[in-house]
Amino acid sequence: MEHLPLRDYGVIGNDDRCALVSRRGSIDWCCFPHLEDASVFARVLDLDRGGHFAVHPEANYESHHRYADRTNVLETVFETTDGQATVTDFMPITDEQEQNEDFQQAIYRRLECDRGEVEFAVEFKPRFDYARVDPVLERIDDGVAARSDDEELHLVADDRLASELELADSEPAATGTVSLEEDETCWIGVQYGGTEPMASLDPETTLDETKRYWRSWLNAREETPDSMPERWYEMVIRSELVLKLLIHHETGAIPAAATASIPEQIGSDRTWDYRYNWIRDAKFTVQALHDTGHRQEAREYFDWFVEIMQNDPDEIQPLYGLHGETDIGEEVLEHLSGYRDTRPVRIGNGAAPQRQLDAYGTIVQAIYETIQYDEDISLTGEQCDAICDLVDYVCTHWSERDPGIWEFREEHRHFLHSKLLCWVALDRGIAIAEQNGFEAPLEHWREEREAIREAIEQRGYSEDAGSFVQHFETDEAIDATALLLPIYEFLPPEDERVQNTIDTVLEELTTDDGLVVRFVGSDVREDEKEAFVLCSFWLIDALVLSNRLELAEQYFESLVEYASPLGLYSEKIDPETGRLLGNFPQAFSHLGLLNSASYLTRALETDGEVSPEDFHPDGIETLFRSGS
């Protein structure tokens, strides 16, 4: 057996957990009790040792999958010579039992024969703690119990299937078969920690309630603009649902992705654990949540940032655990072979202790945007003091080197993106202080803001390259983060240097169909061939702001086609093969789609007459105020 491509996986989940389900009916990644905990199934990282829970026809089959309309309930359709059957997979969630941890720590699987007759095979091979612990399996009345010293995972099945399950002699595994005729159904699933409440609940009712939950959540959003094409709207809906899957309901934190160590490039050592909340995602997350009308999630995200903001600025990290954990180590799992045999397999993330100067700007930007969007939010005195501390810290440290947004572990530079976000911290900090009337050293902040502007304009732009460059020490390295200059409103889109930069990015970083790699010609790391999905959406946004709508729309249509058949994105795309690469599904990529769809739709509604102010909530003054 070979590893499946990522586009053959769907994702299911609820408030705090996710699972990857393949088109072959196998759950190949799932962590319990929460997304950030150790895996119980990890075949995506090792075909033999990782563990899985598969349900598929015994006979040869063709399969495809889809989501039940406007839900995170996954349906996999199997076709054999004797019949057709559908496996429906979901993790339960309802409004009534939203906070019931036991209720949510489960996966339900409904096997249903649509026509003819289909015999299903069941394979249950849990492996605890990233396959470092082989559980002991034993038969119980309604299925199989897998136990270790610290964990229990129970396979709960209908009577007709439970009686057919057999334990393997050679390994901790259970297998069985069940034959279904037309319109017959069979339920099976896993419950973490015991058999309850799954064994006592009506699964059909739970399925109906779960579908109702997802649809009700979506109904809270505003309707799509009339000018948005249907296909775009479908992608917007799917991206919203992915984002909601990843939002941690207790804290409002949003992990970058649901998985760990799926490589950015097959055969490379760029394998990272993305089950953490990165501060750098803030601006795009706030914008996407508000643009799609999900005010409650935006407020919870705001609360998470406000709590982080009140730490000592010198101790602020680029990423945090989903409960705000700061002690995040990194460990290599030597016993796992990795996705497509790409090692190392890492859990934890060694970038946590880095000091990334862009983090301070993203925090202040997130606070600024949130209080503009939500008039019911006001800052307390302590919060205003914390903002002052952040901005003062930037004033002192903006001129230092750092590892940058791409988290280079060995090389530190004066990265353009870090300087830009330091400018953002000062610019938005000034705006917040003026709007809220709290005491701050505004004259000093204005002086430092102007000093950063001067440094970026004088040292960050290369006449030879015809572009803003990756860092101050180069005249050659082109980096996609330069596209953010007009998006963060450092310069107006019509500025000649901005347009030159966009043209250079188009020539040096962009494929014919709009895929954008992160950088070329860098002295920090070798060039990458894989396109970074979010950078591709940044290009679209910069083109929209530049009134280059025909090209922006062309590239957006192309990016929609690169999504998986279920509308899911990973972190990167191989331009030559279209293969999805990196952790999956990737919040950053889906945030990019949500924001670009909003930018492009608004621009099309105005027949191409757009300006930066059009992409702010009503009443927000444009921030092109370098002289103020």
Question: Where is pLDDT greater, at 220 or 501?
Answer: 501
Question: How large a percentage of the chain has pLDDT more than 90?
Answer: 83
Over 90: is that where the pLDDT of 456 sits?
A: yes
pLDDT beyond 50 at 457: yes
The answer to whether residue 609 scores a pLDDT higher than 60 is no
Looking at the predicted structure, is the pLDDT value of residue 621 above 50? no
- Per the prediction, the chain carries an average pLDDT of 93
* 282 or 254, greater pLDDT: 254
Asked if 241 and 214 count as a contact pair (C-beta separation under 8 A), the reply is yes
- Residue 619 has a pLDDT of 32
The full DSSP string for 165-203 is -EE-SSSS-EEEEEEEETT-EEEEEEEETSSTTGGGS-H
Residues of the chain with CATH 2.70.98.10: 6-218
Average pLDDT over every residue of 61-89 = 98
Angle at 449 between CA 448 and CA 454, to 5 degrees: 95
Cα–Cα distance, 329 to 352 (Å, whole number): 8
Give the pLDDT confidence score for residue 607 in this predicted structure.
64
Residues in CB range of 257: below 8 A, 6 or more apart? 246, 274, 275, 570, 571, 582, 583, 584, 585, 586, 587
Q: What per-residue confidence (pLDDT) applies to 628?
A: 30
Confidence bin at 616 (pLDDT 50/70/90): very low
- Residue 101: what pLDDT? 85
Residue 547 pLDDT exceeds 90: yes
Q: Is the pLDDT of residue 100 over 90?
A: no
Mean pLDDT of 174-197: 97
Sign of CA pseudo-dihedral 302, 15, 291, 406: positive
- Check residue 286 and give left, alpha or beta (phi > 0: left; psi -120 to 50: alpha): alpha
Domain(s) labelled CATH 1.50.10.10 in the chain stretch across 229-615
Determine how β-strand 17-22 pairs with β-strand 39-41.
unpaired
The confidence band for 411, taking pLDDT boundaries of 50, 70 and 90, is confident
Q: Give mean pLDDT, residues 138-145.
A: 95
Burial of 205 (0-12, 13-18, 19+ CB in 10 A): exposed
Q: Which CATH architecture has domain 229-615?
A: Alpha/alpha barrel (1.50)
| pLDDT at residue number 614 | 55
| Domain 6-218: CATH architecture, name and number where available | Distorted Sandwich (2.70)
Phi-psi region of 413 (alpha: psi -120 to 50; beta: other; left: phi over 0): beta
Q: What is the mean pLDDT of residues 557-577?
A: 97
